[in-house]
């Protein structure tokens, strides 16, 4: 089987309140995106990583990942789904349609290699899948005024994470058709679900956080220290 990875990284991460996009903030002397990409490259089965970047991104060339011959740059899009589509299109001439594509958030630097490996082993038995963790907290639904209207049964609910892994051809088709139909695509799995597929949830770790706010950076540092 053939495996390749895509890292959409065209966003600016405005909620971090910093001058730098969140993927370029430093963690233990390395950028967030370098941590994320390196864990993918540490998987011997993953042949390449395609990073989708903003048109005017001038920081990427200064990263460690930019110098790795297994990593290539493509233009990102307005939204995550457009960046992923651009990366898929760039892979299509050279990569078989049945190759497995792992899409991973640039701002998830704490993903564990063993979880990626398990995803690659388990999800290939079906249509594909994604890492996630079961919901343990009590879940509430509110109205537009933040007033609670219901307590949601958390049984069988999951927090979705990345990587999310599907075959190139099926994912490309699902994303294109969902966008053409005006469907809101929040991740790759939602496009596959809309296309009628049933992706598999593969349990990962709660430490696989997505850095979106300043406090997340300190938490990521803590998790990286735990893993050495």
For a pLDDT cut of 70, what percent of the chain falls above it?
96
| Cβ atoms of residues 46 and 91 within 8 Å | no
Closest CA to 99 of 174, 5, 194, 193: 5
Given 3-state DSSP classes, what are the helix, strand and coil percentages for the chain, each rounded to the nearest 5? Answer: 35, 25, 40
Q: What parts of the chain have a pLDDT lower than 70?
A: 12-18, 228
User: Tokens standing for 94?
Assistant: 């050279």
Biggest CA-to-CA distance, the chain: 53
C-alpha to C-alpha distance for 134 and 11, rounded to whole angstroms: 27
Instruction: Specify the pLDDT at position 1.
Output: 87
C-alpha to C-alpha distance for 20 and 68, rounded to whole angstroms: 22
Instruction: Specify the pLDDT at position 16.
Output: 57
The CATH class for the domain spanning 3-227 reads alpha beta
DSSP state of 182: T
What is the DSSP annotation of 199-217?
PEEEE--TT-----SHHHH
Name the pTM for this structure. 0.94
User: Tokens standing for 84?
Assistant: 């992923």
Q: Domains of the chain: which residue ranges? A: 3-227
Instruction: Specify the pLDDT at position 227.
Output: 76
Residue 98: half-sphere exposure toward Cβ, Cα within 13 Å: 3
Instruction: Specify the pLDDT at position 38.
Output: 97
């Amino acid at each position: 089987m053939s495996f390749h990875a895509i890292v959409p990284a065209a966003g600016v991460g405005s909620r971090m309140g910093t001058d730098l996009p969140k993927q370029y903030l430093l963690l233990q002397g390395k950028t967030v995106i370098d941590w994320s990409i390196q864990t993918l490259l540490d998987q011997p089965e993953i042949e390449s990583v395609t990073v989708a970047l903003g048109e005017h991104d001038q920081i990427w060339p200064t990263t460690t990942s930019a110098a790795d011959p297994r990593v290539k740059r493509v233009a990102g899009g307005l939204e995550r789904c457009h960046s992923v589509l651009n990366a898929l299109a760039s892979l299509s001439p050279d990569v078989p349609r049945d190759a497995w594509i792992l899409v991973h958030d640039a701002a998830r630097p704490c993903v564990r290699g063993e979880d990626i490996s398990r995803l690659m082993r388990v999800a290939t038995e079906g249509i594909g899948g994604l890492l996630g963790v079961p919901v343990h907290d009590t879940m509430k639904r509110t109205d537009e005024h933040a007033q609670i209207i219901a307590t949601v049964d958390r049984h069988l609910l999951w927090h979705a994470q990345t990587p999310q892994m599907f075959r190139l051809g099926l994912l490309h088709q699902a994303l294109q058709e969902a966008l053409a139909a005006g469907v809101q695509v929040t991740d790759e799995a939602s496009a596959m679900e809309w296309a009628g597929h049933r992706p598999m949830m593969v349990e990962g770790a709660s430490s696989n956080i997505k850095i979106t706010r300043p406090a997340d950076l300190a938490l990521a540092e803590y998790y990286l220290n735990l893993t050495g």
